[in-house]
């Protein structure tokens, strides 16, 4: 990671993404606290999550085409400026739930453009051997930022009100845009023909469907989202109803996931010479699936925390190897559409999982949610391993 961070272009991209993530953390905490204060209900808080997921479902297919047809740096800068303006609205006007939902919707729409562009542009600023290390650097910064800044964000909201947190988020987007403007890439500017947007989005779907490895990655992404959407959101229920843990144990369990997620990139780079092989992409699904089954079966808080640390390792290593394999396997001109489609599958599965998981937890019990989540992750691993054996060593998609 030190080697890739020594490269000026990647360091600029990494700085922009990290500073923007800092603002996102403050905004995420402030949004949750403020909407709960205004509505007094968990349903109100869930409404923010829905407002963030829906635009990703609507925008992602077109966003992928835009990312593949326009200069990606300009797309990222425009998305940052848009999000800065929206976050600025909440600095003054944050006492109306409808405004909060509308801004959350807009911020998510901007992210639907920014994220596939940032993931697609990374191979242009880092040589192929450094792609895994570059993704590890991005992930490590994100996890450490969340561990350190989330408690600070909660304190800031309590002491100074949510407006300051939203202001920091707006400022972070402007800093990100300013840093990215200095990123110079050799990439052709292409016009986006309006009549071709939907057809080119369909080409992205056909591309994934026609490539055995990409198809397995897409199925794994959807199955993992169907699992993680519910298990992540309902961890607080598991702690209270199954583990019979005290109220403050939920934070302890989240901390265990964070510790594992922070260790994952270091373990990946130190122990595995080529993490982009399908084995290391789909293997983390086995780890996470096994953890879900353990959580549904044990009642010991220390055992659950240790298992969740393993889950964190699986989450971080899985995300890094997944992105790195896509960046290496997919050619530049179609990379934006592939990443956007993977985002679409993730958010679709996450939304479905939240609804089904909540109903299942109420009707059958929280253990059933985790047993089902573990089974879905193990199924995702089985699909991936089968595709990996049939496809052989991962080559570059044409």
* Phi, psi for residue 41 in degrees, rounded to 5: -145, 150
CA distances for 371 relative to 94, 229, 364, angstroms: 40, 14, 12
What pLDDT score was predicted for residue 398?
46
Domains 1-192 and 200-392 share a fold: yes
pLDDT above 90 (res 375): yes
Span of 132-146, 190-204, 209-223 with lowest mean pLDDT: 190-204
- Of the chain, the percentage scoring pLDDT greater than 90 comes to 30
Most confident of 97-101, 115-119, 288-292, 324-328: 288-292
Residue 368: pLDDT over 50: yes
Q: Are 81 and 20 in contact (CB under 8 A)?
A: no
- Decide if pLDDT at 394 tops 70: no
Given a cut of 80, is residue 324 above it in pLDDT? yes
Write down the pTM of the prediction. Answer: 0.82
pLDDT band for 333, please (50, 70, 90 cuts). confident
Dist. CA 316–CA 80, nearest whole Å: 25
- Does residue 311 surpass a pLDDT of 80? yes
Nearest to 294 by CA among 241, 251, 242: 242
pLDDT reading at 78 higher than 60: yes
8 A C-beta contact, residue 241 and residue 247: no
Residue 269 has pLDDT above 60, yes or no: yes
Q: Tens digits of per-residue pLDDT, 163-182?
A: 888 888 899 999 999 999 88
101 within 8 A of 43, measured Cβ to Cβ: no
Higher-pLDDT residue of 215 and 354 is 215
Quote the pLDDT of residue 274. 73
Summarize the confidence of residues 73-80 as an average pLDDT: 92
In the CATH scheme, what is the code of domain 1-192?
Answer: 1.20.1250.20
The answer to whether residue 192 scores a pLDDT higher than 70 is no
Q: How confident is the model at residue 322 (pLDDT cuts 50, 70, 90)?
A: very high
Encoded tokens for 113: 């453009």
Average pLDDT over residues 357-386: 91
What is the predicted pLDDT for the residue at 45? 66
More confident site: 36 or 398: 36
Looking at residues 330-352, what average pLDDT do you find? 89
Count the Cβ atoms, other than its own, within 10 Å of residue 236.
17
Q: What is the mean pLDDT of residues 219-229?
A: 93
- Answer yes or no: is pLDDT of 221 > 90: yes
Q: Evaluate if residue 42 carries a pLDDT over 90.
A: no
Separation of alpha carbons 316 and 143, rounded Å = 9
Domain spans of the chain, in order of start: 1-192, 200-392
Interatomic CA distance for residues 149 and 163, integer angstroms: 17
Burial string for 75-100 (b: 16+ CB within 10 Å, else e) reads bbbbbbebbbebbbbbbeebeebeeb
Q: Are 227 and 353 in contact (CB under 8 A)?
A: yes
> Rounded distance, CA 31 to CA 27, Å?
6
Q: Report which of residues 129 and 15 the model is more confident about.
A: 15
Specify the CATH superfamily of domain 200-392. MFS general substrate transporter like domains (1.20.1250.20)
Over residues 66-81, the mean pLDDT reads 90
Q: Token pair for residue 157?
A: 């909201």
> What integer best gives the mean pLDDT of the chain?
85
Name the more confident of 23 and 248. Answer: 23
Contact partners, residue 391, CB within 8 Å, separation at least 6: 212, 213, 278
pLDDT of residue 84: 93
What would the 3-class secondary structure string for the chain be? CHHHHCCHHHHHHHHHHHHHHHHHHHHHHHHHHHHHHHHCCHHHHHHHHHHHHHHHHHHHHHHHHHHHHCCHHHHHHHHHHHHHHHHHHHHHCCCCHHHHHHHHHHHHHHHHHHHHHHHHHHHHHCCHHHHHHHHHHHHHHHHHHHHHHHHHHHHHHHHHCHHHHHHHHHHHHHHHHHHHHCCCCCCCCCCCCHHHHHHHHHHHHHHHHHCHHHHHHHHHHHHHHHHHHHHHHCHHHHHHHHCCCCCCHHHHHHHHHHHHHHHHHHHHHHHCCCCCCHHHHHHHHHHHHHHHHHHHHCCCHHHHHHHHHHHHHHHHHHHHHHHHHHHHHCCHHHHHHHHHHHHHHHHHHHHHHHHHHHHHHHHCCHHHHHHHHHHHHHHHHHHHHHHHHHHCCCCCCC
CA–CA gap between residue 396 and residue 216 (Å, rounded):
15
Query: Regarding predicted confidence, which is higher, 245 or 379?
Result: 379
């Amino acid at each position: 990671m030190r080697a890739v961070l020594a490269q000026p272009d990647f360091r600029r991209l990494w700085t922009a993404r990290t500073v923007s993530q800092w603002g996102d953390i403050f905004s995420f905490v402030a949004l949750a606290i403020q909407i709960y204060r205004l509505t007094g209900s968990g349903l109100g808080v869930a409404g923010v999550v829905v407002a963030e997921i829906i635009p990703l479902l609507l925008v992602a297919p077109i966003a992928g085409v835009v990312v593949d047809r326009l200069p990606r740096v300009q797309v990222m800068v425009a998305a940052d400026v848009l999000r800065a303006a929206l976050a600025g609205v909440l600095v003054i006007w944050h006492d109306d739930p409808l405004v909060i939902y509308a801004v959350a919707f807009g911020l998510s729409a901007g992210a639907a453009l920014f994220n596939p562009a940032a993931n697609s542009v990374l191979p242009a600023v880092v040589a192929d051997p450094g792609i895994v290390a570059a993704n590890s650097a991005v992930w490590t910064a994100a996890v450490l930022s969340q561990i350190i800044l989330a408690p600070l964000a909660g304190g800031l909201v309590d002491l100074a009100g949510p407006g300051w947190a939203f202001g920091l988020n707006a400022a972070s987007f402007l800093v990100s845009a300013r840093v990215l403007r200095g990123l110079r890439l050799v990439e052709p500017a292409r016009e986006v023909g309006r009549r071709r947007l939907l057809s080119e989005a369909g080409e992205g779907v056909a591309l994934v469907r026609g490539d055995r490895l990409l198809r397995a990655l897409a199925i794994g992404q959807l199955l993992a989202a169907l699992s993680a959407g519910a298990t992540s959101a309902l961890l607080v229920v598991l702690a209270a109803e199954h583990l019979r843990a005290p109220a403050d144990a939920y934070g302890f369990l989240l901390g265990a996931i964070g510790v594992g997620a922070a260790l994952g990139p270091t373990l990946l780079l130190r122990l595995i010479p080529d993490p982009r092989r399908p084995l290391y992409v789909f293997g983390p699904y086995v780890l996470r699936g096994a953890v879900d089954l353990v959580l549904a079966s044990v009642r010991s808080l220390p055992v659950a925390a240790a298992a969740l640390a393993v889950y964190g390792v699986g989450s971080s290593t899985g995300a890094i190897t997944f992105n790195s394999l896509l960046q290496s396997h997919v050619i530049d001109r179609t990379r934006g559409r592939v990443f956007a489609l993977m985002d679409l599958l993730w958010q679709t599965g996450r939304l479905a999982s939240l609804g089904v998981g909540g109903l299942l937890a109420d009707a059958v019990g929280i253990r059933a949610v985790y047993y089902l989540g573990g089974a879905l992750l193990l199924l995702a691993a089985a699909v991936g391993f089968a595709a990996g054996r049939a496809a052989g060593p991962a080559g570059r998609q044409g």
